[in-house]
Amino acid sequence: MTVRQGYRVELAPTPAQAARLGQHAGLSRVVENFCLEKVKAALAQREAEQSYGVAAADLTPVPWSAPALERLWRAEHAGRYPWFTAEGLSSRVPKEACRVRAAGFKNFFDSRSGDREGARVGFPGWRKRRHGSRFRYDADRARPVHQRAVHLPGIGKVRTREDMTWLTSRITGGAARVIGATVKEQAGRWWLSVQIEIDRTEVNRARHAPRGAPACGIDIGVKTFATIVDDDGTVTEIHAPKPLKAALRKLRRANQDLSRKAKGAANRAKAARRVAKVHLDVAHQRADFLHKTTTTLARTERAVAVETLNVAGMTRNRRLSRALSDLGFGEFHRQLAYKADWYGAQVWAADRWFPSSRLCGDCGTVNAALTLADRTWQCGCGTVHDRDVNAARNLLTAMQQDQQVV
């Protein structure tokens, strides 16, 4: 089973290497803005030509594609950006920056035509420093050279803070190959995300859900993150750490401290890094919880029944948006889907309008008067339901009744 996946590791650069990483991030930003400048200039030229009555076939072409943008960069960088050659920066970074910008144009047109799913994507804008520092390498230009070191073109051999034996052993054995890499800075720390193609047959077989594993229904909620009901009647509750809620006081103080610093001052930069560190810690705690939860479910359950949630619509509720965003419902479903595919489990998603909480599991009556505040309710048949347990049990029953689930 060959799949594409990511492998993220934190770098441990020296001060000189960190400065060099920052230079390459700045180069990527300059190239992306150069590409946008060329596209906007061509569009303005075409508009002027159309006003003069120039035929459509004779209008100035717009460099939408990555190869066209690369040709323009190669033709002009020597005169406009002589520091690129003088500093000896990697030529692979501009190549990938052009591809990133071309992908942004394609996403915009696909979104406008309806060929791209999800929220509407706007026309790409100018990239600024405050948008973050990151750049990409193509193919295996950036690659592990040791369990504790990676080679980055234009920078050299950079040590990592984590052991990469899992990756290096598979690359050496031919089970994996690097197809791209992204370097990103967060809160003063640098990370390398390697995109790989890997044969996961042996990995998945070793972690495959055991024979006779139970099937379950899962109700996702704000108060209790996941209420799990197995087909043997076992009920399990999983509570999320809610890292943003726990860090709100620290984040508020950090932002207040930042607001008191003069713009451009060194102390303001330090305060900004403290704010970024709080956000990074929150993101790491949430990701750790979601990965551990979804991995456990995919490895221990034969089949999982879940709700189909309109997360984007739910977050429009001002009273619940922060709590919902803190839990990461959308990421939970995404991770569960691909990990279940890895480990041989099955994920069954109910219809969005399936009344899992309102449906009485005994008589089939739908309680239309049920509100979000009602944690327990009594049906006309006399059965008293716990809202979350009832919803999870109804999802499990619906999955079992579906012909596609064995």
For the annotated catalytic residues, the residue numbers are 219, 307, 388
Residue 77 has a CB neighbour count (10 Å cut-off) of: 19
**DSSP structure class, residue 108:** H
Structure tokens at 149: 């070191």
Give 172-231 as a 3 state SS string. Answer: HCCCEEEEEEEEEEECCEEEEEEEEEEECHHHHHHCCCCCCCCEEEEEECCCCCEEEEEC
Residue 331 burial class via C-beta count within 10 angstroms: exposed 0-12, middle 13-18, buried 19 and up: middle
Q: And the tokens for 364?
A: 């089939």
Residue 372 DSSP label: T
* Dist CA 372 CA 253 (whole Å): 33
In angstroms, rounded to a whole number, what is the distance separating the alpha carbons of residues 328 and 321?
Answer: 11
Q: Residue 42 in contact with residue 62, Cβ under 8 Å? A: yes
Which of 93, 44, 58, 59 lies closest to 73, judged by CA?
93
Query: How does DSSP assign 3-58, residue by residue?
Result: EEEEEEEEB---HHHHHHHHHHHHHHHHHHHHHHHHHHHHHHHHHHHHHTT--GGG
Amino acid occupying residue 311? V
**Helix, coil or strand: residue 381:** coil
Is 365:400 a contact under the CB 8 Å cutoff?
no
Distance, CA of 90 to CA of 183 (rounded, Å): 13
Hey, CA dihedral for 94, 98, 101, 107, is it positive or negative?
negative
Nearest-angstrom CA–CA distance, 370 and 377: 8
- How does 49-76 read in b/e, with b if 16+ C-beta sit within 10 Å? eeeeeeeeeeeeebbeebebbbebbeee
The two tokens of residue 315 are 């977050």
